[in-house]
Structure 1
Amino acid sequence: MKTTDHGNGDVRLTGISKAYGSFTAVHPLDLTVPQGSFFALLGASGCGKTTTLRMIAGLEEPSSGTVHLGEQDVTALPPYKRPVNTVFQSYALFPHLDIFENVAFGLRRRGIKSVKKQVEEMLELVQLGEQARKKPHQLSGGQQQRVAVARALINHPKVLLLDEPLGALDLKLRRQMQLELKRIQTEVGITFVHVTHDQEEAMTMADTVAVMNAGRVEQLGSPADLYENPRTTFVANFLGTSNLIEAEIDSRSGDDLVLKAGDGKLVLPGARCSAPATAGGRVLAGVRPEKISLTHADDAGAIPENRNRVTGTIAATSFIGVSTQYIVDSAVCPGLEVYVQNVDHDARLVPGADVVLHWSPAHTFGLDAAQSPLAGTTGPAGLEEETAVR
C-alpha cells in the first residue's frame, strides 16, 4: 500500500548548523535526502546526528541554515506544522489505551470520526491486526515498536524520522526489526530518516548512509560504497574493521601505484587512492580482514605471484563460529586482523606460527597518511566523543 502521493517528500538541509554557546554540535552542512529513500545518519555518541534529526523535526532551532521538506521551507515552523512524524526509542505509547486506540490517536485528535478502515490497514501493514485490543504492556518490545511506527505513519507524513528506534531491543529482535522496518518503508514508499550508532543497523536498512563525526558528515554513500571505498580513516575504522599499513608511493605501473611497505611492495589501484598520488608520498594502504587469505609459511610457494603479501607471526586466534579471527604481528604493521571462514581449517595456524597474509591488489584502498590510523576505533584515541549533545 502507498499511503499518499509524496512527490515532494525529500529533505534538504542547506548550511544547517547548531551551536550551544561556544560548543558547536553541528557544523554547517548541506544534505539532501532523496524522496522515498531509507536514509541513515550514522555516528558515535556526540557526533551531532540526533541534533540534526531534531532540527528536521523542529525540536531544535538551527543556529544557521534552512530546512526544506520538498518545496516547503519549514525552518520557522513549529513541529506540529511540519509534515513529519518521529518514532523514538522509548515508543511513548499510551498505556491506558489499547493498540487500536494508540494508532487511531492522531486521527481522532484531528477530528476524524471514521478511523476504523485506516487503523486496520496500518495494523495489517505492521502485522499486528490480531493484537488490536491488547494493551501495550501485553506486547513484546518489537511489537510495541511496530505500534509506534503505525501510529506515526497513519498521519501520512512526508517524512518519518526514527531516533535510535531499536536501541532498547535485544540483538536477535533488533535484527528482525531491521528487516521489518525496511519492509514497511518499501511498502509505504515514503522517506525514512534513521539515526543510529549501530553500523550493522545502518548498512542493513539504509539505501544511503551519512557517516557523521564531530558535527560533520565524513562521507555519504551507499553502504557498499562506504565499506569498500572509505575516504577517511574514521570511515574505514567505524564501518567494520580495517587493516591500515603505512607505506610510501614508489612508482606507477599502468593504472596502479606500487607502494613500499617495510622491505616489501604492495600494489594499490590508483582509482582507489584518496591520497595525493605523488612519488615519495606517504599513504595508508587499507584492506578488510575478510579479504585476506592466511597461508602457513611452509606453503608460501603456492601463493600466486600477483597477490599482495605480508609476512608475520600469529599472535592470537579467536573462534567465533562462522569464522576464526587471527591477530598477526608483522614488521610492516603490528596487530593485523584476518577473518578466515571455518571451511577447511589448517591445524598449523596457531599462535607462534609463521604465516603469509595475501590478498588481491584490487581489494586494497589508499588513504592519506596525515590522518590518524586510529580515528573511528573505540577507545580514547579513536572516536571523538562530545558529551554535551548526542
Structure 2
Amino acid sequence: MTATTVEKAATTQRAATVEFRGLRREFGATVALDGLDLTVAPGEFLALLGPSGCGKTTALRMLAGFEHPDAGEVLVDGEDVTRVPAHRRDAGMVFQSYSLFPHLSALDNVAFGLRMRKVRTSERRARAAELLELVGLADKGDRYPHQLSGGQQQRIALARALALRPRVLLLDEPLSALDAKVRLTLREEIRRLQQELGITTLFVTHDQEEALSIADRVAVMRAGKLEQCAAPAELYGRPATAFVAEFVGTMSRIPGVARDGSVEVLGRRLPVDGEAPAAGEVDVLVRPEAVQVRAEAEGDARVLATAFLGAVVRVTVRLADGTEAKADLPAHEAAGLGAGAAVRVSLPDRPVLVAERTQK
C-alpha cells in the first residue's frame, strides 16, 4: 500500500463526535440498555467490551440505525440522528459474518454501496480499486468470496464499509470467526488503517485482550450499564469496580479484614486503593504479576499447578484458608516450584483494590 493511496482515501474522511445520551432499550422483560451515557471523540477508537447480553451490540446497532431506543438520543456531531434511517446515517458497518455478496467479485462487493448511490461506473471502480490496495488486496479484485480466505473476506468487508467515506466506522465482533493467528494480524491491520484514516471507530468485542490491544479507550458494560470507560492501562491498573477488575484480565481474590482505612491481608497491613470499605471481612483483588511467591519449607501455602506462558510461568497456589491465588513469575523464580511445594505468598507494599467478601 502506498502513501498516496492512504492520502486519497483520507482526503474526504471526516471524523465525527458520537454521543449516546440516556439510551434505554427493552426487549420484553429484558433491559438491553439502561440509561447509557457515552461520548466518543473525533478520530477515537473506542471498544465496547462486556459479556454476552450486556448491551454493547444494541448500542452499536442504535448508532447504525438498525435499532431505535425507547428513550434517549444518539447524536453525531451534535445532530440528533435517533430517528434518522440507517441509509442516511453516514456510518460504515462491518459484521461478524462478512455479509459479502457471493455472486459479486471482490471489487464489485467493495463498489456496491457506490452503485446504490448512482456513482458512475468509472469513478466507483477506481475508488474500489483504491480501497482494495488500502487493505492489501489489490490483486484480488476479480476473486469471488468463496475464493478468498476468511481474513481476506473480512478485509473486503472493511473496504466496502470505507468506500462511502463514512464519518463513523462500526465493527461488530468482526474477528470472532477467524482463527487466532489471522485474528491477531487483522486486528493490527484494522488499527493501522483507523489511525491513518483518522476515522471515529466503535468496535464491539467480548475479548478483553482484543479490546485492550486495539483501542484508545475501552468502555466496559454490564447489564445495560456503563461500568467504566478509560484508556487500557487505566482500566487494567485502576479498575473502578470489582466487576471491571475481574472481567479485564486475571484477578485473584484473597481474604482480608478491613479496619481504619486499610486492610490486613497475608499477615500485613496495606492501604486501600479508592474508597475505604467499612470495617469487616473483604476480598483483596490482586493481579498475578503482583502476587509474590517464594519457596519456603515452613510456608503455609502449597503449589497446585504451574503453566508456562512464554515470558512468565503462572503458578497457582492454595493458601492456608483454602483460597486459590495465581502468580506470574519469571521462569528462573518458578524453577523448583512443582505441585505440592511449600511456599510463602505475599503482596507488595502498595494500595490494593478491595471488594465485598465472596461467600463460598
TM-score w.r.t. length of structure 2: 0.91
Task: Report the alpha carbon displacement of residue 193 of structure 1 after superposing the two structures with TM.
Answer: 0.4
Partners of 1:188 and 1:98 lie apart in 2 by: 25
Structure 1 unaligned spans of 5+: 252-256, 301-309, 375-390
Which residue type is aligned with residue 340 of structure 2? G
Q: After the TM superposition, which segments of 4 or more aligned residues of structure 1 sit over 6 Å from their partners?
A: none
Partners of 1:44 and 1:54 lie apart in 2 by: 17
Q: Structure 2 residue aligned with 1:143, among 152, 175, 181?
A: 152
Residue 13 of structure 2 contacts residue 165 of structure 2 at CA under 8 Å; is this kept in 1? no
Counterpart check, 1:366 vs 2:357: no
| Equivalence for 2:28 | 21
Residue 307 of structure 2 contacts residue 314 of structure 2 at CA under 8 Å; is this kept in 1? yes
Residue 36 of structure 1 contacts residue 191 of structure 1 at CA under 8 Å; is this kept in 2? yes
Which residues in structure 2 correspond to 1:310-349 (within 5 Å)? 312-331=301-320, 334-343=323-332, 345-347=334-336, 349=337
Task: Report the alpha carbon displacement of residue 282 of structure 1 after superposing the two structures with TM.
Answer: 4.8
- Compared with structure 1, are the counterparts of its residues 150 and 5 closer, same or farther at alpha carbon in structure 2 (3 Å cutoff)? closer
Task: Report the alpha carbon displacement of residue 281 of structure 1 after superposing the two structures with TM.
Answer: 5.1
Which residue type is aligned with residue 115 of structure 1? R
Structure 2 unaligned spans of 5+: 1-5
Task: Report the alpha carbon displacement of residue 367 of structure 1 after superposing the two structures with TM.
Answer: 2.8
Which residue type is aligned with residue 12 of structure 2? T
Residue 104 of structure 1 contacts residue 119 of structure 1 at CA under 8 Å; is this kept in 2? yes
Task: Report the alpha carbon displacement of residue 317 of structure 1 after superposing the two structures with TM.
Answer: 2.4
Q: Structure 2 residue aligned with 1:78, among 78, 85, 93?
A: 85
Counterpart check, 1:32 vs 2:35: no
Which residues in structure 2 correspond to 1:291-306 (within 5 Å)? 291-298=290-297
Task: Report the alpha carbon displacement of residue 344 of structure 1 after superposing the two structures with TM.
Answer: 5.1
**Cα deviations by residue, 1:328-349 (Å, 9 ceiling, x for unpaired):** 11135611111223245422x1
| Equivalence for 1:175 | 184
Q: Structure 2 residue aligned with 1:185, among 189, 194, 215?
A: 194
| Equivalence for 1:112 | 119
**Cα deviations by residue, 1:198-251 (Å, 9 ceiling, x for unpaired):** 111111111111111111111111111111111222111111111222322344
> Aligned with 1:202: secondary structure?
helix
- Compared with structure 1, are the counterparts of its residues 219 and 311 closer, same or farther at alpha carbon in structure 2 (3 Å cutoff)? farther
Task: Report the alpha carbon displacement of residue 108 of structure 1 after superposing the two structures with TM.
Answer: 1.6
> Aligned with 1:361: secondary structure?
coil
| Equivalence for 1:353 | 341
Counterpart check, 1:124 vs 2:133: yes
Task: Count residues with an aligned counterpart.
Answer: 350
| Equivalence for 1:384 | none
Most deviating of 231-240 and 11-20: 231-240
Partners of 1:123 and 1:288 lie apart in 2 by: 43
Residue 313 of structure 2 contacts residue 334 of structure 2 at CA under 8 Å; is this kept in 1? no
| Equivalence for 1:97 | 104
| Equivalence for 2:225 | 216
Task: Report the alpha carbon displacement of residue 117 of structure 1 after superposing the two structures with TM.
Answer: 3.0
CA RMSD of aligned residues (A): 2.1
Partners of 2:31 and 2:251 lie apart in 1 by: 30
> Aligned with 1:226: secondary structure?
helix
Task: Report the alpha carbon displacement of residue 41 of structure 1 after superposing the two structures with TM.
Answer: 0.6
Residue 251 of structure 2 contacts residue 285 of structure 2 at CA under 8 Å; is this kept in 1? yes
**Cα deviations by residue, 1:50-106 (Å, 9 ceiling, x for unpaired):** 111111111111010000011211001110111112110111111111111111111
> Aligned with 1:230: secondary structure?
coil
> Aligned with 2:48: secondary structure?
strand
Which residue type is aligned with residue 317 of structure 1? T
Residue 258 of structure 1 contacts residue 265 of structure 1 at CA under 8 Å; is this kept in 2? no
% identical equivalent positions: 42
| Equivalence for 1:306 | none
Counterpart check, 1:49 vs 2:56: yes
Which residue type is aligned with residue 260 of structure 1? E
Residue 249 of structure 1 contacts residue 277 of structure 1 at CA under 8 Å; is this kept in 2? yes
| Equivalence for 1:305 | none
Residue 43 of structure 1 contacts residue 213 of structure 1 at CA under 8 Å; is this kept in 2? yes
Which residues in structure 2 correspond to 1:225-240 (within 5 Å)? 225-240=234-249
Which residues in structure 2 correspond to 1:243-258 (within 5 Å)? 243-251=252-260, 258=262
Residue 19 of structure 1 contacts residue 25 of structure 1 at CA under 8 Å; is this kept in 2? yes
Q: Structure 2 residue aligned with 1:4, among 8, 12, 22?
A: 12
TM-score w.r.t. length of structure 1: 0.84
> Aligned with 2:68: secondary structure?
coil
